[in-house]
Amino acid sequence: MSEVVEKTVKKGLALGASGVEAHYSIARNVEVKIESNEISDASLRINRSLHIAVFLGKRLGFSRTTDVSAKGIENAVENAYHLASSSNENPLWKKLPSPRPFPSVRGTFDERIYSFEPDNAVKLAKEMLSEARKDSRVSIPGGLVSLAHGETHVANSLGVLGSDKGTGISMELMAVAKNNGEVGSFALAWEASRKLDLNPVEIGREAATKAVESLGAKKIESLRGTLILDYDVAVEFVSALSEALNGDMVWRGSSPLKDKVGQEVAVSFFSLVDDGTLDGGVSTSLFDYEGVPRMRTILIDQGVLKGFLHNTYTAGILGVETTGNASGFLSVAPSNIVVSSGDWGADEMVKNVKRGLIVKRFSGYMRPEDGVVSGSVKQAFLVENGEVKHPVKECMISENLYALLKNIAGMSRIVRKRGQFTVPQVMFENVSIVG
């Protein structure tokens, strides 16, 4: 299918464009949905999309089509060309990326997923649902099993040409427990992989266990103490931080970290990298949206900010090199974010707590533009004198993301992959918890 992007580039140049970029993707998706304790839908979809950028000096035009016939390509390129012709110049635009060798990546394709059929996906969903429903107190309001395989092709007028393929699977299940009129908080279990190696029974069991754990919740008084973020909530924390490390936020001036390269922004044992070549990573690929090779980028090293994530556009604005993180023609996104592990065991963390909470779900916001962290904690448990006492009814956390980075007291030795994030459990001291 690389001929689709090659034809697109040639057509744009023939019209008189000074530059052309084409990105073509085709994906086969099998999805099974769960609603109200039952399989509600199973589907097989094939999606195709050709994205085109045409440049006339510093004037840019974009178009998209699902029709990759010769006529469809011609019409889409002409649309992009006419849009560029009528647009104003973008003074920040510099250039398209030049070709560079692609890295070697592993663990991104599984032949078993490639040939997976909807009936088999339904079996996986039934296994997950059946395991969770073994406890009569547990109900399943929703869930999803999704398998996909696809190809990506990219080309530009400077000679970039790349093709890649990959597979992926994800499973998620939302559970809630009811007992003697009491309703616990919603619990979520989910996993994602590039290989057919997820266990639906384990995911169903985890969702049910989390739901039942929340029964018997009690109110607590407000306190200032220790906060332990379990893996899912640690992902939300790191995700908000990664937004502040996005070159698009940086050049627009909306990231509080924009002028802090070379400065300490976190505790000395906290490091964070973006690794687009991670073995089996959910977002691992040969190249980014622009055809720039994926790479490993150190963002925070032992607490010190080292740099930001860029595509060619943001890198050009700030006078640095792209990090291979284009997610669209002008947009930037992380690939696989990996946080360093710590030296604490999970039990050691709990034993260290005089008074505080373990939080397994968070409902609120963590704003990268100002660091405000505010919301209610769900699936939370009171810890006193090193012992888990009981689940707590909804209480609030009000803190600042960037202050918390400098207030990390410890991180777990064991890290878990949660989608594109690999994180430890994270422990903070002196956190405000409103009962």
pLDDT of residue 274: 99
CB 243 within 8 A of CB 435: no
Which ranges in the chain are annotated with CATH 3.30.2290.10?
2-213
CB 243 within 8 A of CB 342: no
CB 140 within 8 A of CB 37: yes
**Distance, CA of 40 to CA of 370 (rounded, Å):** 41
Sheet strands (E) in 57-131: 59-65
CB 308 within 8 A of CB 300: no
- Helix ranges (H only) for 102-224 are 111-114, 118-132, 200-213
pLDDT of residue 236: 96
pLDDT of residue 115: 85
Q: Domain 2-213 belongs to what architecture?
A: 2-Layer Sandwich (3.30)
Ramachandran sector of residue 349 (left: φ over 0; alpha: ψ -120 to 50; beta: rest): alpha
pLDDT of residue 113: 95
**Distance, CA of 106 to CA of 73 (rounded, Å):** 33
What is the rounded end-to-end Cα distance, in angstroms, of the chain?
58
Instruction: List beta partners, residue 39.
Output: 34
pLDDT of residue 185: 86
Q: String of b and e for 173-204 (b: at least 16 CB within 10 Å)?
A: bbbbbeeeeeebbbbbbbbbbbbbebebeebb
β-pairing verdict for 187-193 and 161-179: antiparallel
**Distance, CA of 56 to CA of 91 (rounded, Å):** 12
The token pair at 395 is 């209480």
pLDDT of residue 378: 87
Burial category of 137 from C-beta neighbours within 10 Å (exposed 0-12, middle 13-18, buried 19 and up) = middle
Show the low-confidence residues of the chain (pLDDT under 50).
none
pLDDT of residue 261: 98
CB 147 within 8 A of CB 182: no
pLDDT of residue 435: 81
SS3 297: strand
